[in-house]
Amino acid sequence: MNTPELSVIIPVYNEEEGLATLFSRLYPALDQLNISYEIIFINDGSRDRSPAILREQFQARPDVTRVILFNGNFGQHMAIMAGFEQSKGKRVVTLDADLQNPPEEIGKLLAKMDEGYDYIGSIRNQRQDSRWRHVASKAMNSLRERITRIKMTDQGCMLRAYDRNIIDAINSCKEVNTFIPALAYTFAKNPAEVVVEHEERAEGESKYSLYSLIRLNFDLMTGFSLVPLQLFSFFGIIISILSAFFVVFLVIRRLIIGPEAEGVFTLFAITFLLMGIILFGIGLLGEYVGRVYQQVRHRPRYLVEAILEKTE
């Protein structure tokens, strides 16, 4: 098989209701680009008919379609990593299967790459998500940028384009937990962003809950920065200094006024506040230690049940 100009990576998880619509829009959109391409679908342990539908699609278009079937659910980013490792294209585009990012926008990203950029992120125009997701995403983006110094206007949009050099660099990494858009940003020499359209979800519901979004941002911040630990070290120093002054104040007050019972509840409140800060700091430290623990076990990041592809 000749090297295609473009590889499109699409993770799939319980998307049986919308796959037919995806197929009907994706292939014509790519045909209009007038370049050679391949499409790699990764089934991330779907519990519906998604695997069967993907098999049928492979049989219908084996010339440009490849399917990776996971033996379980390993998450969106591991599915994309598997797609990266199997991709052959000179450029790679990631796309969600829910059609919130129209496949017709792929050409816009490739056109931007033609200007000399090696990594193209996307910014959703007039997001069709619920208000709480919009507000939460904006808050997380702001916090993440301050901590990691990675500038991505819209980190939640997976419609992105990567040059082959960046894909090769990502494939050389063996991290168990990572956030692919941020990892690519660290390797890119000349990144850029474009505004893309955003549509309402075609079928089904979002797979990301509020907890999932918080979990994802924890992975992002602890995976790309030591700032959270450094902040707690700084807070620890400040609290220690303030505590020392407070102890001196209590000693002087006792010498001047004598024993007194007043203020005991204030001391309890301060104690519980400090205990809360300490426990949160221990939990944050545990995030880093946990990442190290997962890494040193050297367990596979995902298990592939089968790969459907056209034989030479």
Give the alpha-carbon dihedral of 51, 6, 153, 222, to 10 degrees.
60
Query: What pLDDT is recorded for position 69?
Result: 97
CB 7 within 8 A of CB 42: no
The tens-digit pLDDT sequence of the chain (312 residues) is: 589 999 999 999 999 999 999 999 999 999 999 999 999 999 999 999 999 999 999 999 999 999 999 999 998 989 999 999 999 999 999 999 999 889 999 999 999 999 999 999 998 886 655 565 666 666 666 666 766 677 777 777 889 999 999 999 999 988 877 788 888 988 999 999 999 988 876 565 655 555 666 666 666 666 667 777 777 777 777 777 777 777 777 778 777 776 665 666 667 667 777 777 787 778 778 778 877 877 888 888 899 999 999 876
Tell me which H or E stretch contains 104: none
Q: Any idea which architecture 6-208+301-308 has in CATH?
A: Alpha-Beta Complex (3.90)
Amino acid residing at 84: F
Distance CA(103)–CA(290), nearest Å, equals 37
Provide the 8-state DSSP code for 194. Answer: E
Distance CA(63)–CA(1), nearest Å, equals 10
Per the DSSP assignment, residues forming a β-bridge with 10 are 41
pTM of structure = 0.77
CB 63 within 8 A of CB 132: no
Query: What pLDDT is recorded for position 307?
Result: 93
Nearest to 159 by CA among 81, 98, 212: 98
